[in-house]
Amino acid sequence: MATVRFQNLRKSYGDTHVLTGIDLVMEEGEYVVLVGPSGCGKSTMLRCIAGLEDISSGDLFIGDRRVNDVAPKDRNVAMVFQSYALYPHMTVRENMAFALKVAKRSAEEIRVAVDEAARMLDLGHLLDRRPSQLSGGQRQRVAMGRAIVRRPDVFLFDEPLSNLDASLRTHMRVELMTLHKQLGTTMVHVTHDQVEALTLADRLVVLNKGVIQQVGSPRELFDRPINTFVATFIGSPSMNLLPATGHGATSTVDGVEGTLDVPSDGAFTLGIRPTDFTVGEGPLEADLIVVESLGSEAMLHMDLGEHRIVARVDEPQSFQSGDKVRLRPNKVHRFSAATGERLP
């Protein structure tokens, strides 16, 4: 078990800067999820920890050791790849034993460790198969098993669930949480799926264009997004962002009738989550375009003036496209119109 500490870490390929000035501490035993859109640098961060990428400048510590120039094999980290990277010519048992064989452990020690990991992941009956004879979920578990047997200081997960179907993904999320509880090791998990991020993380790191946007618990990020990027990236469907103008104690949405009880001054960006509307009454009136039914609930896609907004309702049957719908925001976020930063 160990902390992972980034100090003003930079990574660039020629003139392309992938990571710019990363400062971050991952505590011992913490489950940290790196999340962000494609190309934001989250995988690069993970590969820097693994040692698969060189660090252009700054420092990286695992525990108390500066590891900038330490080879991957000497870092005692375990990584689960998006493709699982199972060795196709080896059985499940050989795959899981690989790292121990490298470390020249005794055959008995290896057998015990593999059996233990196989029991935890329910792989006992698959140990003599080859990867090509396994389903996607089983391969995923073997990849996990290969990481577990090593008892590493840090686990690194690179989009481990993205090749699974939806139900399996939910199942594996639970397994990952269980595993984290059992092992208590520092785990770093990269994903672009914000649902996965919110469910798993002790702490979330939102990245965009190589810069950390916000670090915090899922609740913090959901309730108090630090800027419009985090606000729209976390939560599904995304937060509605509307240009608005404040008149002291009240505000109006630009180009829309109706006054809101939001104290503000001048132009700002108004953020409302789709779940934070009261539908059926209120100061705003929108044209219902589409009802997206999700079974027990529905998403109403509406035009508010020139702005497309989404609101969640519990009784979808009472709405039809073409209806005029009245709305009241229950909770709002305010962001600077110029910088997108959260206003106090």
Partner 1 sequence: MSAARVSLLRALLVLAALLPLPWRQAIAAQVDEIVLWHAYQGREEAGLEAAARTWTEQSGVRVKLVAIPFGAFASKVETAIPRGNGPDLFIAAHDSIGKWSAMGVVEPTPQLSADGLRPELMEAVRWGDQRWGLPLAYKSLVLLYDPTVIQTPPTTTDALIAEAHKYTGGGRYGLAYQASETYYHAPWAHAFGATPFDAEGRLVPLDSDAHVKAYAFTARIARDEGIVPQQPTYESVQRLYNEGNAVFVIAGPWFVSDVDRPIAAAPLPWVSDAGAPARPFLTVDVAYVAGQAQHPDEASAFTTWLAGPEGARIRQEQGGQAVSSALVPTDDPLLKTLEVQSKTALLMPMNPGLQGLWESEAKALRRVMRGAATPSQAAHEAALYWEVVSRPSPPAVSPWPYVVVMVAVLLGALGWLLAPLRDPDFRAKLRRHAWDYVWIGPATVAMVLLVLTPFVVGAGVAFFAHDQGEFTFIGLRHFTDILFARDWPLSSPLSFFYTLGVTLLWTVTNLIVHVGLGIALALILREPWIRMRAGWRAALILPWAVPNYITALIWRSMFHVQDGAINALITLVSGAKDPVQIDWFGSFVTSFGANLITNGWLGFPFMMVVTLGALQSIPRDLEEAAEVDGASWAFRFRHVVWPLLKPALLPAVILGSVWTFNAFNIIYLVSAGEPDGTTEILISEAYRWAFTRGNRYGYAAAYALIIFGVLLAYSRAANRLVGRKVL
Which spans of this chain sit near partner 1 (rule: CB under 8 A)?
50-52, 71-79, 81, 83, 85, 87-89, 98-99, 102-103, 146, 150, 156
Using alpha carbons, select from 149, 84, 147, 165 the residue that is nearest to residue 115.
149
- Structure tokens that stand for 207 in this block: 């990245």
Least CB distance to partner 1 at residue 279 (A) = 48
Cβ closer to partner 1: 150 or 189? 150
Least CB distance to partner 1 at residue 55 (A) = 15
- Structure tokens that stand for 167 in this block: 């139900």
Using alpha carbons, select from 2, 32, 22, 19 the residue that is nearest to residue 216.
32
Least CB distance to partner 1 at residue 129 (A) = 17
**Alpha-carbon Rg for the chain in angstroms:** 24
CA dihedral over 273, 275, 281, 285, signed as positive or negative: positive
Residue with tokens 């989250």: 42
Cβ closer to partner 1: 113 or 226? 113
Cβ closer to partner 1: 99 or 113? 99
Euclidean distance between CA atoms 330 and 117, whole angstroms? 49
Least CB distance to partner 1 at residue 344 (A) = 44
Least CB distance to partner 1 at residue 101 (A) = 8
Cβ closer to partner 1: 82 or 275? 82
Cβ closer to partner 1: 105 or 209? 105
DSSP-assigned states of every residue in 77-146:
EEEE-TT----TTS-HHHHHHHHHHHTT--HHHHHHHHHHHHHHHT-GGGTTS-GGGS-HHHHHHHHHHH
> Which residues have C-beta within 8 Å of that of residue 290, sequence separation ≥ 6?
300, 301, 321
Least CB distance to partner 1 at residue 91 (A) = 13
Cβ closer to partner 1: 102 or 174? 102
Least CB distance to partner 1 at residue 3 (A) = 19
Cβ closer to partner 1: 103 or 174? 103
- Please check whether residue 214 is in contact with residue 227, taking contact to mean a CB–CB distance below 8 angstroms: yes
Euclidean distance between CA atoms 210 and 231, whole angstroms? 18
Least CB distance to partner 1 at residue 61 (A) = 18
- Please check whether residue 206 is in contact with residue 236, taking contact to mean a CB–CB distance below 8 angstroms: no
Tell me the HSE value of 272 on the side-chain side, using a 13 A CA sphere.
Answer: 25
Cβ closer to partner 1: 159 or 196? 159
Least CB distance to partner 1 at residue 75 (A) = 8
> Which residues have C-beta within 8 Å of that of residue 198, sequence separation ≥ 6?
204, 218, 222, 234
Cβ closer to partner 1: 36 or 152? 152
- Structure tokens that stand for 208 in this block: 């965009």
